[in-house]
Structure 1
Amino acid sequence: MIAVLGECVADGFTTAAGSATGGTAGSAAGSATGGAGGGAGQGGELGLRVLPGGGPANTAVALARLGTPARFLGRISGDVFGALFRERLASSGVDLSAAVEAAEPSTLSVAALDDGGQAAYTFYAGGTADWQWSPDELTPARLGPAACLHTGSLALVREPGRAAVEEFARAAAARATVSVDPNVRPTLAAREDYRVERWCRWADLLKLSEDDLRFLMPGVPVERACDTWHAAGARLVVVTRGAAGALVSLDGERAEVRAPEVVVVDTVGAGDSFTAGLLHDLGARGLLGGRLDGLDLDTAVAAASFAARVSALTCSVAGANPPWADALATP
């Protein structure tokens, strides 16, 4: 089992009255954009189509659809959006027994898609359910029998709950593999809020995008950034590069992974699906539950290649709609 700790977000996408929703075709795959969504029409009266999203929730959904038992640790509101989150997670097979029923409202984002299907988000997140974690809510029992904890995104940077989330992840490292995806949101958090080197003291796997890297360490070559995070403690660092694939760095030994060719509808949720594919493959190989001690570079590359396929399939449909296992049965 893999536990995923983080937020659900109600993703609103603008639509033009009378137009079909959808994105724009392209020829890239593997972007690290998070969230969920539909598409935007052109011209006319605008409406808002709201779909369930949030990077960690998307990762939990993708894991469950791939066949990995997934437990979601989230604070889910009792409002109409919370019901939407629960239905999506449960229908994908995610275990919600560790989720908290929260009194606060759901987080809302409004996204705009550019011509390449990339989404830019405006968040409405003040006082919402996702960030109100307390130490009493994050006891060790909430992790359950999980061999791996994945967290990151806004849960690790938003007050008032971020200290409780960080302490829970640090404690989980005593008996589980820990994975972190910063999934940077510059409109909601400053660079200094993303304490990546500190997280690497207890994280085994760090996955981020090129955009994340440019924000976190502007002007720093990717190889030097990876070495910084290895020195801080992370064994495996994977940097996704959209259509250019991904860089895999294991204790400083590196290799490139190509992205499959795909017609892009949009890139929403692609990075979250990549993370799920990577963790699913590592788990299927029996490598989760410790410090990734049995992992070698060739195996890490194979896992990242599988993750790129999962991400590409997510790009080929509208919104954060990750594939089910049978869609990946044929290489």
Structure 2
Amino acid sequence: MTGVAVIGEAVADAFVSPGQGTLTLEVRPGGSPANTAVALARLGTPTRFIGRLAGGAMGTLLRDHLATSGVDLTSCVAAAERPTLAITAIDASGRAAYDFYTQGTADWLWTAEELAGRTPYDVECLHAGSLALVVEPGGPLIERALARVRPHATISLDPNVRTSLVPVTAYREALPRWARLADILRVSDEDLAHLELSAEQACATWHGYGVRLVVVTLGAQGAFASLDGARVSVPAVEVEPVDTVGAGDTFTAGLLHVLRSRGRLGGRLDTLTPDDVRAALAFGTRAAAETCKAPGADPPWAHQLA
């Protein structure tokens, strides 16, 4: 296989609708890495998801969502544990707040044997991040998998900082390790706020560790990237959002989709140019805007962006 592999969690997002003395939950597929895999596959990039997928009704929902979007699930584990649940509340601006139920759930319980047998040496890019990269026992094992794949493929990371579940100190300790592995590191303005870093500090620090391309998404202000210190920015696409769930994950998918279509993935980004980056940022923002038009993480198909 050539294409992109994504490793991480698939989460059941339960959206809250408060009532008089009641709380109604509408469960939709989610999880940052799963969202990215779905978006990549819908855009036409051959995509493999590497995750521990639970059974039961919610696990079936997640599996069907990935499969019907065209994601290759042959490297997934059929896990006995229950799925991770995120109670999701949307504010007036469309931003989500999450209350995670993660104790003993399937996504984090990788074994060394499971991952060793699923290491994707045959892809152009391996994307990882979010909670699966920081929650033990699976997080350290995923880091080792990234290190094994790095000689063969471009490494893309999205920390997706979740301080409601993981202390920010854990991210600060891990980011130097992750940056030494990553060729592409994508963060949001919210991530930087949690880390108490300016965009300039983040770019300088992570370039120093060896990251070639640092990408920062800024919501309604668009996105910018630093390619070895050369800055590129694009404006946001104006949209009336239903919510912003999955928009950042779709942006990452759009970015990787364009870089792959231009033949830039597969190594250390040695042939990547600022023009390539600008095109990838612009497409990513269009794809993210389209995602905001639908409730939950429901990325667009290629024909919707044609």
TM over 0.5: yes
Find the residue that maps to 2:161 and give its secondary structure.
Answer: coil
Give the distance between the partners of 1:280 and 1:199, measured in 2 at CA.
22
Per the alignment, residue 28 of structure 1 pairs with: none
**Structure possessing the higher relative contact order (Cα contacts under 8 Å, 6 or more residues apart):** 1
Give the distance between the partners of 1:141 and 1:156, measured in 2 at CA.
16
What does the per-residue CA deviation read over 1:170-191, in whole Å, with 9 as the maximum and x for residues that have no partner?
1111101000000011011112
Q: Cα offset for 1:140?
A: 6.0
Select 1:164's aligned residue among 128, 133, 141.
141
Select 1:284's aligned residue among 257, 261, 265.
261
Find the residue that maps to 1:208 and give its secondary structure.
Answer: strand
Per the alignment, residue 196 of structure 1 pairs with: 175
Q: Give yes or no for the alignment of 1:274 onto 2:251.
A: yes
Give the distance between the partners of 2:117 and 2:237, measured in 1 at CA.
39
Per the alignment, residue 7 of structure 2 pairs with: 5
**% same residue:** 55
Q: Cα offset for 1:318?
A: 1.3
Per the alignment, residue 33 of structure 1 pairs with: none
Find the residue that maps to 1:137 and give its secondary structure.
Answer: helix
Give the distance between the partners of 2:156 and 2:66, measured in 1 at CA.
20
Q: Give yes or no for the alignment of 1:232 onto 2:209.
A: yes
Per the alignment, residue 243 of structure 1 pairs with: 220
Select 1:145's aligned residue among 103, 114, 122.
122
Per the alignment, residue 15 of structure 1 pairs with: 17
Give the distance between the partners of 1:301 and 1:236, measured in 2 at CA.
12
Per the alignment, residue 293 of structure 1 pairs with: 270
Give the distance between the partners of 1:10 and 1:136, measured in 2 at CA.
26
Give the distance between the partners of 1:298 and 1:2, measured in 2 at CA.
22
Find the residue that maps to 1:255 and give its secondary structure.
Answer: strand
Give the distance between the partners of 1:173 and 1:47, measured in 2 at CA.
44
- Whichever structure has more helix as a proportion of its residues is 2
Give the distance between the partners of 1:168 and 1:135, measured in 2 at CA.
9
Give the distance between the partners of 1:75 and 1:120, measured in 2 at CA.
24
Alignment of 1:307-322 (within 5 A): 307-322=284-299
Contact preservation (8 Å) 2:121, 2:153: no
Contact preservation (8 Å) 2:10, 2:34: yes
What does the per-residue CA deviation read over 1:102-138, in whole Å, with 9 as the maximum and x for residues that have no partner?
1111000101110011000000001110001111111
Q: Cα offset for 1:64?
A: 0.4
TM-score, with length taken from structure 2:
0.96
Q: Cα offset for 1:277?
A: 0.3
Q: CA RMSD in A?
A: 1.2
Give the distance between the partners of 2:27 and 2:217, measured in 1 at CA.
27
Per the alignment, residue 99 of structure 2 pairs with: 122
Give the distance between the partners of 1:146 and 1:183, measured in 2 at CA.
23
Contact preservation (8 Å) 1:140, 1:172: no
Per the alignment, residue 94 of structure 1 pairs with: 71
Q: Cα offset for 1:163?
A: 1.0
Give the distance between the partners of 1:140 and 1:125, measured in 2 at CA.
25
Find the residue that maps to 1:14 and give its secondary structure.
Answer: strand
Per the alignment, residue 31 of structure 1 pairs with: none
Gaps of 5+ in 1: 18-42
Report how many residues are paired: 302
Give the distance between the partners of 1:104 and 1:46, measured in 2 at CA.
26
Contact preservation (8 Å) 2:119, 2:149: no
Greater Cα shift, 232-241 or 139-148? 139-148
